[in-house]
Copies of this chain bind each other. A is one copy, B any other.
Amino acid sequence: MDVDSDAWRRGAAAVATLTFDVDAETPVLASSGRYARHLTTMSHQAYGPDVGVPRILDLLDRLEVPATFFLPGWVAERRPHLAASIVDRGHEVAHHSYSHRSATEMTPDAQRQDFERGLAVFEEQGIDVVGHRAALWHTTTTTMELLAEHRMAYDSSMMGDDRPYLLQLDGASVVELPVHWSLDDWEQYAFLPEPHVGSIIEAPSKVFDMWRDELDAMTEHGCLFNLCLHPFLSARPGRLAVVRRLVEWARERGDITFERCRDVAARVAEVGGVREVRVGETEIDPETYPD
């Protein structure tokens, strides 16, 4: 094959996508609707869109880096100016389900309804959405059908590589911008005993070291540094400084570019040269591995 497997990076040693999952109250409510009555917990989640997002937008302006914000439809609906306030600053808004419930715990019909209800919110608000990230990164064959059917340009929920790859689906091929637990702020900072969403709070200095070392090593393997941040976590002052320092460090190196997911995906689709992976359920013998 003549295709250049490095072409999607346009000469950069590694490409970085800053992504913000603006989940607000949804992950907590998806655990149980009763948390709507836990006022402190709701305030903890509301901090994300209400205090965090404006602060993040200001930082991105100062740093002059574009970013991608994944919004559940429910969040965009409740805060009707939120999506536009992000797009107006030059960033991308993308689809993150309607309600942030897990695809693996919904029937295919319910999953379809939730997916399409989310898309409808953005359509109604005039927000152009071309990418998708599954709630909790939980995907099923229904997710794949929906990606193909709705002609999403990319998905960002799988973990099969640390470079973009192509999901080969029935009648479509969708760019995958893979994620990973180690490039997510949730595992480092999230603490909430009820619902139990995390039990350890790491120092931002540890997180900076870990992410910088990963980005550094990724330049040797031509990877996508697809960082997943949550405004209710990473917009707190000492943690936001990690994001700033990381961008400054990469800028100083000079061989790392920051882009919106949609721009990376478009280039991958155009220049090719990446792995193609046929996606489907793993076939197993139920005697060896019963449900």
Contact residue among B33, B38, B74, B201 (Cβ-Cβ distance under 8 Å from A140): B38
Contact residue among B180, B182, B289 (Cβ-Cβ distance under 8 Å from A29): B289
* Cβ < 8 Å to B, chain A residues 6-61: 25, 29-30, 32-34, 36-40, 42-44, 46-47, 50-51, 55
Is A255 in the interface zone, CB < 8 Å from B? no
Copy number in the complex reads 4
* Cβ < 8 Å to B, chain A residues 189-235: 189, 191-192, 199-201, 203-206, 209-210, 213-214, 216-218, 220-221, 223
* CB of A190 to closest CB in B, whole Å: 9
In the bound complex, residues from chain B placing their C-beta under 8 Å from that of A282 are 25, 29, 36, 42
Interface residues on A, range: 35 or more
CB of B221 within 8 A of CB of A201, answer no
CB of A33 within 8 A of CB of B291, answer yes
Q: Known contacts A51-B160, A282-B36, A284-B36: does B213 contact A209 (CB below 8 Å)?
A: no
